[in-house]
Amino acid sequence: MIRCLVIDDEPPALAILADYIGQVPFLTLAGTTTDPVEGLTWVQQGRADLVFLDIQMPRLTGLQFLRLTGHKARVVLTTAYPEYALAGYENDVVDYLLKPIAFERFLKAAHKALTLLAPTVPALVTSPLLPAVPPAPAVAPTSDYLFVKGDTKNKYLRVSYADIRYVEGLNNYVLLHLLHERVTTYQTLRELADNLPQPPFMRVHKSFVVNLNHVRLLDGNALYVQDKLIPVSNTYREALYRVVRG
């Protein structure tokens, strides 16, 4: 088993990654911490093989952490800021995950770590419980909600999938149209779409993702969610009709 340590100053991020680790058969959670200095001690003591590491943290940034570890553990960087990707890879990280992190993307990073760590963790090779190529995860979500980022660093809002009628991308932020309110979250539409179960959620336009459970009418290159007309672009039209027709 690969012993995993999660370091992030935001508790919701710790909880999500801890849940993801618990779903992967060749990973085990060694610990979580919001204190990078404590996490550094764990690594220096040899208590973790793989670290999921946030970049922007108080006291010690993720990049400073990397320089201090002395390559005693492999690292997957987790951050909401894509501009740090190059610096991460220059420090020989396993992968670079942009928040919010979809489970499918997390699993891809875990597979990379498995390939790199298998020669140094004998149980990964000899255990009959672990296939050479781990199976793909089920498409169904493991919960009926997600957390979306608010307007400050430590603010997250829990949103039920069933309450989302459609999602609208607006430049560098996203507007979630819920049953009884609208919620703004500062991320791209693509990032949010990766965290939504498909179906019932489907991308129908470069600026729209809809919940098929709330679609009242589909007509050619347009659909209606209640009285809201949403365009369907040719790029996504065929996939949408394939799902609708069953």
Tens of each residue's pLDDT in the chain, 246 residues: 899 999 998 888 899 999 999 888 889 999 999 999 999 999 999 999 999 999 888 888 888 898 888 778 999 999 887 765 555 556 678 888 888 899 989 999 999 999 888 766 655 543 333 333 344 343 444 468 888 876 666 777 888 899 999 999 887 788 889 998 888 887 788 888 888 887 889 888 989 999 999 998 888 888 999 888 999 888 888 888 888 876
Q: What is the dihedral of CA 44, 89, 79, 52, to 10 degrees?
A: -30
φ, ψ of residue 166 to 5 degrees: the values are -160, 165
DSSP string, 55-121: SS-SSS-HHHHHHHHTTSSEEEEEES-GGGHHHHHHTT-SEEEESSPPHHHHHHHHHHHHHHHTTT-
Let me know: does 208 contact 167? Beta carbons within 8 Å: yes
Q: Which domains can be identified in the chain, with CATH numbers?
A: 2-126 (3.40.50.2300), 145-245 (2.40.50.1020)
- What is the model's pLDDT at position 141? 45
Burial level of 52, CB count in 10 A (0-12/13-18/19+)? buried
